Structure 1
Amino acid sequence: MFTYSERDLHRIPQAARTHFPVPRLATQSRMLEDESLDQGEVDSTLLRLPAPSLRGTFASAYAILTKIVNKVGWDDLLKYRSEVFVMEEEYRKQDQLPHDGASSKDDEEQSKPMRKTPEEAHWLSFTDKRLCERWLDNLFMVLYEDLRVYTIWRAEQAHYDIQAMPIKRSATDWELLGELALRLHHPEEAHDAFLQCILQNFRPKAYQRLLEYFTEKGSLEQALSMAMHLTAYNHRWYSDSVYPSAVAKQLFKIIKIEGLSKVSNILVAMKPPPAMLRLMQWYFTYAQEFHLPGTKL
């Protein structure tokens, strides 16, 4: 198990001073205004969740646990864990049992194998089970915290929905709740949380998650709308020089399924500003030059 999984690249020296002129497209949008808005108080429980800090193989193992718990539930997951693994306390108790040859008659009677019913018998005995290591036990605790916070959120959301009352949360809270729902494989709940987030403030991560969601659902206009917001944000911070970017990868998926001509026509029909249309055409030009799938459709 290892925690470091980043690219092995040389670190760029920090510049003595930087100056990023604001493009005209950014000044015409509400992007700069949203950055200066007060975010309000953030729920400390969401900030203390340990799952977002997992890296490397720990993050991969946690992703497998979330898939299992999404299929079978928390109770069955614990049952399967007890059938396959031995907890550290059980292992210590078993290790502390006397191993000397002198034993009383009661000990001999206790050591006799007892007939078990098919329900009690299991394909793994105690000696065949594997010790549940500390890192795996910690992942179960991390998963429990995520499930606990998610359950409280959904119960609170259902209560407010019955009362027809809106929940007042900050944009950061909605973004963290959306990430929580994604970790637990609840895309619809994550979609609702990210929508609430962007209604309050411009958050590039929320727009990126919504772009991935609408791309998966095949909603072309919504996906293109999210892509335009992200393209304008990347253009404002001069971070659109690396191809293919995260936005480009999602657009290329749409082009592969729907075709370049259809996607381009839908974008023109949405009537974006001329500057925005020119920025979006860069993705289409890249797809044509490198003959990506869907460019001939």
Structure 2
Amino acid sequence: MVQTYVPELYEDDAHSVIDIRSDSLQSLRELGPPDLVHLTRQGTKSSTKQIGVYHHVTGVDASSSASLAAYINTLTHTPNERQLKVTSGLYCCYNAFSRVDMRVGVQIPGTVESYCVDERGHKLEATEEHWLETYLCCVLRAYSYADNGSGDAIKRIAGVRRFNPITSTEQEHKFLDAAEKLFFSGWQLGSDPEIQVPNLVSNHLTSGLLNYIKTTGRYASGINLFEKLRTRDPEISSLLARVYVLADEEVKAIQLLREAVEELPMDYSLLDCQADFCNRKGRADLALEVAKRGVIAAPSEFGTWARLADIYVAMEQWDLALLTLNSCPMFTYQDKDAPRLPEPSRVTLPLAPETICDEIDDAGATPDTDSIHPTLRRLAAGNYRGTFHKAYMLLTEITQKIGWDQLLKIRSQVFVMEEEYRSEKQAGTGTGTGSRNASTVALRGTDTPQPNGDSEDAGEGESSAANGVSRPAQSITLQPSAEESHEQVPPDPSHTEYTQFQHKRLCERWLDNLFMVLYEDLRIYTIWRTEMSQSRQELTYRKTPQELEVLGELAERLHRKEEAIEAWQACLGMRFSPKAMRSVLAMYERRGDVRGIVGALIRLVAWQFRWFSEFSPDLLYSIRRLIEEEGAVKIRSIIQATPLPQHILDLTHQYAALCATFRSNGSDG
């Protein structure tokens, strides 16, 4: 079993990281930051000077003080500093249920002390209930802070060891038992950034459970858990139905949803599950009415409006899709809790010999290879998260289907544009306060306004983008102060066309900004493709690896998959990039290229191990699915036949062995 070495961040003498962590407890809003492990070292000779060294960790068993003390004991003998001995260690693990920091202090040799610190810095006694809550938070953080293979999460926080918190069926039983006991308190943990108000079925606990079940394929365990919980509250039927769908038990899922909706006809989670299922089956017509009811059931949630917009896109009702998007409630993105510590005085990131491979060496970056053009650096869309990211992806999907010119045409048909506003204002016609608001229009399926943008030239917008992207005209945005009066406009069924100014809607400021951001994305994309076309003739085109990463992301969010892969592969041709390799892996998965998938997985797993991450749910999921489809014997043979050092291949074998431990389909032969 290959294990990572221990990263070491040296504490600045002027700042105690433990004190800073204690001070930051009151500002935590989510699951909490990764666990903090602080060691005190002293010279083996007569020197009395003590040195503070720390690192972060996820996935360590935090069910008791003994298990955390055991982890500290594994750090007492490290190959990094042979002249220093560890005299004491402190393990800090956040309990997001009780909002306390659980701490285990170890004197070496000597005693073990466990206690907890609350938000005010008071020292409290650690109870059994505290440890149960802390253990569950530990598992959820291991999944929440795991890297998806791209390296983004690894690079965000320096010096984090990532372990798999559940490596056996016994540990699974322990996790699910804790989840069952604390399930009805899960809303206290917060939720994903797209959820405005955490509830029984939408919170970090339920997200973590579904993520675990999907990653490991332990559907029977998930079904058993949610079946038991459903007897206590029928709302949990939506979670059970989602697991049935994951397990390819779609008939049971539909039967369950039908029964549950009859009992809870306005439960938006059940309605959303139904709408999502029908839409993915190509029956947007069936999903539409369900999605409308979901919006009525939860009008303040982004997800219900986004689902309705997605269905209108599937039905090619572009104007209603834009109006629905305009009605989406947008939330400020709440990022994961991260350590708020000062810069360490020194950082040591030792690499285990078993993880070193020249092919995946991305540490040789220089200012020249890592430089990036200011225009690419300023692209705002790459920084979108949460609701704004999902709204932008819906807008780009519409653009990819009908073209930029057609999008602008439909936009000018449904929203008030600045020029016509000025001319109408001069004519004294007002702003059409008797018209229906956007929300009402989107929910009325029979009043589909015409024209709908479904003209013969709908697909020709792309050709104009190739020659240059026209800048969108300014629309009149809905001011925050006018939002309430706008939503209170009474419906008027007689307005079925956008042929007059007073029938149009005001555009939300954030959506207006998305159009401008999309314009800039398309402009840069068009310039890039033009340069590429010219370079094939002149052979003078040159980009740095980091610029190619940005261009790959740009093409990907514009749904230009082939162009994105071209950028990723060009990047990999110059230097290894986990972000590029992760996207190339997705391409191999779409094409069913088994050897390509295995090759990409081996390199990503090795890169992860190199940077102290022994666990990535996304990579484990890819390996499990591959074994299910092709069989473990074939996959092990392909891994072994890959021309890389054996110690690198063994890292992927560890992931495959985990699938055998959980008895995944295909792992027995």
Q: Decide which of 562, 566, 585 is 1:192's aligned counterpart.
A: 566
Q: Are the counterparts in 2 of residues 85 and 129 from structure 1 also a CA contact under 8 Å?
A: yes
1:36 to 1:74, Cα distance in 2 relative to 1, 3 A = closer
* 1:265-276 mapped onto 2 (5 Å cutoff): 265-276=637-648
Q: Which amino acid aligns with 1:268?
A: Q
Q: Are the counterparts in 1 of residues 357 and 648 from structure 2 also a CA contact under 8 Å?
A: no
Between the aligned partners of 1:80 and 1:296, the Cα distance in structure 2 is 55
Match of 1:80 in 2: 410
Q: Comparing 57-66 with 215-224, which one deviates more in the overlay?
A: 215-224
Match of 1:177 in 2: 551
Between the aligned partners of 2:339 and 2:535, the Cα distance in structure 1 is 49
Match of 1:138 in 2: 513
Between the aligned partners of 1:133 and 1:90, the Cα distance in structure 2 is 17
Q: Are the counterparts in 1 of residues 362 and 576 from structure 2 also a CA contact under 8 Å?
A: no
Q: Which amino acid aligns with 1:2?
A: F
Q: Does residue 3 in structure 1 map to residue 332 in structure 2?
A: yes
Deviation at 1:18, TM superposition (A): 5.3
Q: Are the counterparts in 1 of residues 355 and 648 from structure 2 also a CA contact under 8 Å?
A: no
Match of 2:620 in 1: 248
* 1:105-184 mapped onto 2 (5 Å cutoff): 123-124=497-498, 125-163=500-538, 165-184=539-558
1:248 to 1:166, Cα distance in 2 relative to 1, 3 A = farther
Q: Does residue 70 in structure 1 map to residue 395 in structure 2?
A: no
Q: Comparing 79-88 with 36-45, which one deviates more in the overlay?
A: 36-45
Q: Comparing 53-62 with 34-43, which one deviates more in the overlay?
A: 34-43
Match of 2:594 in 1: 220
Q: Are the counterparts in 1 of residues 631 and 667 from structure 2 also a CA contact under 8 Å?
A: yes
* 1:203-218 mapped onto 2 (5 Å cutoff): 203-218=577-592
Between the aligned partners of 1:56 and 1:184, the Cα distance in structure 2 is 18
Between the aligned partners of 2:545 and 2:668, the Cα distance in structure 1 is 41
Percent sequence identity is: 38
Q: Deviations over 1:270-291 (max 9, x none)?
A: 2432212221112212222223
Q: Which amino acid aligns with 1:291?
A: R
Q: Are the counterparts in 1 of residues 549 and 568 from structure 2 also a CA contact under 8 Å?
A: yes
Q: Does residue 61 in structure 1 map to residue 435 in structure 2?
A: no
Deviation at 1:85, TM superposition (A): 1.8
Q: Are the counterparts in 1 of residues 355 and 607 from structure 2 also a CA contact under 8 Å?
A: yes
Structure (1 or 2) with the greater helix fraction: 1
1:257 to 1:33, Cα distance in 2 relative to 1, 3 A = closer
Match of 2:607 in 1: 233
Q: Are the counterparts in 2 of residues 218 and 254 from structure 1 also a CA contact under 8 Å?
A: no
Between the aligned partners of 2:611 and 2:425, the Cα distance in structure 1 is 60
Between the aligned partners of 1:226 and 1:249, the Cα distance in structure 2 is 14
Q: Does residue 287 in structure 1 map to residue 659 in structure 2?
A: yes
Between the aligned partners of 2:616 and 2:576, the Cα distance in structure 1 is 23
Between the aligned partners of 2:508 and 2:633, the Cα distance in structure 1 is 54
1:137 to 1:95, Cα distance in 2 relative to 1, 3 A = same
Higher relative contact order, structure no. (Cα contacts within 8 Å, ≥ 6 residues apart) = 1
1:25 to 1:134, Cα distance in 2 relative to 1, 3 A = same
Between the aligned partners of 2:595 and 2:523, the Cα distance in structure 1 is 36
1:237 to 1:99, Cα distance in 2 relative to 1, 3 A = closer
Between the aligned partners of 1:76 and 1:169, the Cα distance in structure 2 is 32
Match of 1:46 in 2: 376
Structure (1 or 2) with the greater strand fraction: 2
1:279 to 1:225, Cα distance in 2 relative to 1, 3 A = same
Between the aligned partners of 2:665 and 2:609, the Cα distance in structure 1 is 26
- For residue 86 of structure 1, give the secondary structure of its aligned residue in structure 2: coil
Q: Which amino acid aligns with 2:654?
A: W
Q: Are the counterparts in 1 of residues 360 and 607 from structure 2 also a CA contact under 8 Å?
A: yes
Deviation at 1:294, TM superposition (A): 4.2
Root mean square deviation, CA, Å: 2.8
Between the aligned partners of 2:407 and 2:627, the Cα distance in structure 1 is 40
Q: Decide which of 630, 634, 638 is 1:262's aligned counterpart.
A: 634
Q: Deviations over 1:204-263 (max 9, x none)?
A: 1111111122122111222222212211211111012x342x322332333333333322
Between the aligned partners of 2:548 and 2:429, the Cα distance in structure 1 is 57
Q: Does residue 29 in structure 1 map to residue 358 in structure 2?
A: yes
Match of 2:277 in 1: none
Match of 1:111 in 2: none
Q: Are the counterparts in 1 of residues 595 and 638 from structure 2 also a CA contact under 8 Å?
A: yes
Q: Which amino acid aligns with 1:139?
A: L
Between the aligned partners of 1:166 and 1:217, the Cα distance in structure 2 is 31
Deviation at 1:126, TM superposition (A): 3.2
1:262 to 1:128, Cα distance in 2 relative to 1, 3 A = farther
Q: Which amino acid aligns with 2:529?
A: R
1:36 to 1:89, Cα distance in 2 relative to 1, 3 A = same
Between the aligned partners of 1:74 and 1:33, the Cα distance in structure 2 is 37
Unaligned runs of 5+ in 1: 101-117
1:130 to 1:296, Cα distance in 2 relative to 1, 3 A = farther
TM (normalized to structure 2)? 0.38
Q: Are the counterparts in 2 of residues 255 and 263 from structure 1 also a CA contact under 8 Å?
A: yes
Q: Comparing 121-130 with 60-69, which one deviates more in the overlay?
A: 121-130
Deviation at 1:57, TM superposition (A): 1.0
Q: Which amino acid aligns with 1:203?
A: S
